Amino acid sequence: MTINDFSPKRYYKLVLPTAGLLALIKLTAWVCGAGFEQLGKGLLQGISFVKIMFPPDWSAFPDMLEPALQSIAIAFIATILGTLLAVVFAIAAASNLTNPIVRNITRFLIGLERSLPEIIILLILIAGYGLGVFSGIVALSLGCVGMLGKLLGDIIEEIDYTMIESVEAVGADKLQVIWFAVIPQIVPNLVSLALFRFEMNIRLSIILGAVGAGGIGYELDTAFGLLQFHRGLTAVLVILVMVVGAEQLSQFIRNKIKLKGALK
């Protein structure tokens, strides 16, 4: 193709969306007061702050173990409770198992919870129950209901209905249909989603801990608040190990489940 053959019309499908996206980015950056100058300045300040944090205060490492285990326990308990509640909400939110009125009410409640971040839920719970682990567990459990309830509800609506009809044909009641025809079909997805939510809860437990739910997040917030940056870096390293460890454990369990399914 020569220069004379070049025609802008050939590229308008690419040029126009790109130009529109760049204009939108520029507009939103202007509205937020953000720019490359602030980005560069912030990066330099961040690098300087990281340099101040080194080296870690290894003497504080033993003090971080109990809060770290507490954060893991918060995430684990919240995942179990939240997953169990999510299954109940998912069944009520599935159009092939409940009537439209119950489904719509349940979907509304799930959507209402999903519209509230876990940190907002925690602040509301702190007003009622005070600071501590209990508020964190409840907040993360409700977060599980909002996320898993929506996803599992959609999965239940797409399951093979012939199995449900087969169980109903032998005279099974509603609970028996759910237990023998619905639950077995969603177990693989349920386990996978619960593991993914556990990874999220590990991260969220750290954030909520800084607000008042306890755990390693509280230790990190306290260290920075007291300008103990070396101790804070130790907490950051412990958090890094927690997050990576949770991801590796989750992946290991998923692989085991896939292998077991393949052998069957």
Q: Give the pLDDT confidence of 63-86 residue by residue, as tens digits.
A: 889 989 999 999 999 999 999 999
Confidence of residue 6 (pLDDT cuts 50, 70, 90): low
Mean pLDDT of the chain: 84
pLDDT for position 240: 92
For helices 118-129 and 183-208, the axis angle rounded to 10 degrees is 70
pLDDT for position 89: 92
Confidence of residue 1 (pLDDT cuts 50, 70, 90): very low
pTM score, whole prediction: 0.80
pLDDT for position 237: 92
Cβ pair 137, 160 in contact under 8 A: no
* Matching residue, tokens 């409770």: 81
Please give the DSSP secondary-structure letter assigned to residue 210.
Answer: I
Cβ pair 93, 107 in contact under 8 A: yes
For residue 239, the tally of other CB atoms under 10 A from its CB is 22
Please give the DSSP secondary-structure letter assigned to residue 54.
Answer: P
Per residue in 96-154, pLDDT (tens digit) is 888 889 999 999 999 888 888 888 888 888 888 888 888 889 999 998 998 999 999 88
CA distance 225 to 211: 12
**pLDDT at residue 158 above 70?**
yes
Amino acid at 203: R
CATH 2.160.10.10 fits 63-263, yes or no: no
Q: What residue segments make up the domains of the chain, in order of their start?
A: 1-35, 63-263
Phi/psi of residue 18, nearest 5 degrees: -65, -45
Amino acid at 18: T
Average pLDDT over residues 208-232: 86
